[in-house]
Structure formats: structure tokens, C-alpha cells
Amino acid sequence: MAAMKSADARGVDLETILIREYKVPRLALLKALSSHYKCPIAEYDERTPIPPELLRRLNGESQAISTWFPIIKDKQTVVIATNNPRDPRVLDEVSRFIKAGKYEFWVTLKEDIRWFIQDFLHAPPGELIGTERTGLAFWRNTMAHWRTRLACYRTDLAKARTDLAFLRWGLGLIAISNALMRMHNSGPLFYFYIAMTLVGLTLGIIGVSGYLKIRKTRMSPPEHQTLVEVTAATLSFLENYHFIEEADIRPPIKQTMLARLGDFLANHSTIIYPSPASRERTHLARERNVLAGQRTIAGCYRTIYARARTGLAFIRTGVSFTSLGLGLIKYFGLNILSIPDLILVIAGILLAIDGVLWYLPIRKEQSDVPRSPYPQ
């Protein structure tokens, strides 16, 4: 009696008072209702494969279905979950919305009905399970796939820098052995210098072949703008699942698209405590998507900065070998033995040009990577 008086005075459901204040287990309450109404129990489960045809005429905003929800269809029989199977108004409402040869009513809690309505009526009719969290999970998978691709691109860049190290060692050995052969053009050491030249040539060929293999395959398609545009496309879930009228954060407008994406995403990084509480998992799923979006943007930053780092490595190597080749030509003069020196100069110029082509598109990006605010 005390629970009933408290529920009437506060305008809340009796089951809410019993579960939250009197700590009555949900299952015990359901068993009591099942014994009272002489019918089976129905509990909310988001994995329930509710047939789409049962949802076509239902509207999540309608008050007419606030006390019942269809959960099973077995041939001509439709099972209805309701908090009061003996209420004649429930049968009248069910017959108006759902056409079936026979109706079977199972007892459930009002909270479970609200969860069914919240989860299964938030997608267009025709989907097997119209949960918002399913759509959010799809977008998290999409972002995860793109971050995996970005990681592959960064691995290719690391391989290119490794091949560059082989090329650097090879050209360095060729330059040193060439200079030593000019200074000591006879004796047993002369053959040692020839061996050094051959080793350097081998390392150079390994480095060039490995680099060209990467450069011609997976390195060329993802240019800087492509990386940014695809990253932006993976954040389009915000248009369908996040509706924030006023954001607390008003950062200054950045010049680049990627920097603006980071600031735009930060406006959605907040946990909203929903009412009723059955929607809290959906809002937490939204928050996970925002965090996944932030990781995706950070992954794009790491990838383009890896391109810049690789470009700088090529520029540094190109300038070093161009200077070395010119220095050797200046010291020993220009003759037939200067061919390796000229090769050093040409290779250094090509390396520097290639490095500049990689580095310049990233130079305009903002140096500060946007970070997530603490949840509000």
C-alpha cells in the first residue's frame, strides 16, 4: 500500500517504485504478474528479430502504443507484449494497428515496452532490427576500416624510409670508395675499395627497387586531399545521429578542412543523460562514435605527417648527396672518374624534388591537432 500511495503521489509507475526504491527484482515482479494474469513473460531484448511487417504501421511518437508492443509472429498468430493483458483497450488498439488471425498477450513491464519502442522504431520500416545503435555500430566499423587503411599507408611510408636508408648507405659507400680509389689507385687496398663500391651499388639497387615498388603501387593513390576527404566522409554519421542545437565550444575557424573537422567534432563530444534512462545506452553509443571519429581524425593527421616526415627525409638525403657530389667534383676536378660524383648530384636532386612534392601539401596543415574536451 505504501508503494501504491508513493506512486500515486509522485505520478510514476508502481513498478518503478517497487524496483528502484523497494529493490524488488525485475524477474520476481514479472513472475508475480505472470501468475496474476495467467500468461507467459516477455522481457526486452534488443536482439529480438521482430518481423518488419509488424512495425510498418507503428509510430514511436504515438501514445496509442505506449502500453503494448508486437514481438513475435508465428504464422497467423501475433504475440503482443503488454503490461496489462486483460485491458480491453489494448486489444482494440492492437486490432487497429496490426492485422492477424489470432493475438496472444504476454505480460511485461512498462519499462520494457518503452525500450522496445525506443529501439525498434527509430529506423525506417522494413529493416529487420531498426535500432539506432546498429547504425552507429555500422559507422564505427566504417571508421575502423578507414583507420586500418591509414595504418597501411603509414606502414608503406615507413618501408619507403627504410628503403631510403638502404639507398643512403649505398650511395655513401660508393662516394667514399670512389674518393679513396682516386687517392690510392694502386695496391691491395684498391681492390678493397672496389668491393666497397660493389657493396654500395648493391645496397643502392635494393633501396631503389623497394622504394619504386611502393611508389608505383599503394603510395600514389592516397594524396593529401584524398585522405582528408575520405576522413570527412566517415564522419557523416553526425548528420543522422547527432542533433546539437547549441554547442558550448566556439573555436576560431581554421584554414584547412582537416582542422575544421577536428573542431566540428569536438562540439559533439558530450554525454547527454537521456530521459527515459532506456536511451542512455544509445547516447553512450553516440559518444563512442564521437571518440572513434576523433581517433580517425588523429589517424589522418598521423598519416599526412608521416608523408611529411618521409618527404623531409628525402629532402635531407638529397641535399646531403648533392653537396657531397659537388664537393668531390670541386676537389678532384671533372674527368672520367667523376661519373659517380655526377650520379650522386643527379640522384640527390631527384630525391630532393620528390621529397618536396611529398612535403609541400602537408605544410599548410595546422600544427596543433585538435583534442577532445572533457565530457560535459
pLDDT digits (tens, 9 = 90+) for 319-346: 888 887 888 788 777 777 678 778 878 8
Domain count, the chain: 2
Q: Are 159 and 311 in contact (CB under 8 A)?
A: no
**Range 287-305 burial, b when 16+ CB lie within 10 A, else e:** bebbebbbebbbbbbbbbb
322, 176: one domain: yes
Q: For residue 258, how far is the Cα from the chain centroid? A: 15
Q: How many CB atoms are closer than 10 A to CB 230?
A: 15
What are the counts of helices (DSSP H) followed by strands (DSSP E) for the chain?
12, 3
Low-confidence ranges of the chain (pLDDT < 70): 1, 7, 11, 46-47, 59-66, 122-132, 215-222, 239-260, 262-282, 337, 364-376
Please give the residue range of the domain that contains residue 223: 134-363
Q: Are residues 64 and 145 in the same domain?
A: no
363, three cell numbers: 605544410
What whole-number distance in Å separates Cα of residue 152 and Cα of residue 182?
A: 45
Residues 205 and 330 in one domain: yes
Phi-psi region of 179 (alpha: psi -120 to 50; beta: other; left: phi over 0): alpha
Q: Are residues 292 and 231 in the same domain?
A: yes
Domain co-membership, 333 together with 353: yes
96 with 210, same domain: the answer is no
In a domain, 186, yes or no: yes
**Closest by Cα among 67, 137, 82, 74 to 100:** 74
Q: Within this chain, do residues 144 and 100 fall inside the same structural domain, yes or no?
A: no
pLDDT for 35: 93
Pair 123, 153 in one domain: no
Q: Is 369:210 a contact under the CB 8 Å cutoff?
A: no
Q: Does the N-terminal peptide bond of residue 85 adopt cis geometry, omega within 30 degrees of 0?
A: no
- Domain assignment present for 368: no
Query: Does one domain contain both 189 and 117?
Result: no
* pTM given for the model: 0.55
Note whether 243 and 353 are same-domain residues.
yes
Between CA 332 and CA 185 the distance in angstroms is: 13
pLDDT value, residue 210? 78
CB proximity list for 75: less than 8 A, separation 6 or greater: none
Quick one: 358 and 225 in the same domain? yes
Cell digits for 84? 496489462
Residues 249 and 347 in one domain: yes
Residues 6 or more apart whose CB falls under 8 angstroms from that of 28 comprise none
Residue 373 confidence (pLDDT): 43
Pick the last residue of a domain from 130, 152, 187: 130
Question: What pLDDT score does 129 carry?
Answer: 40
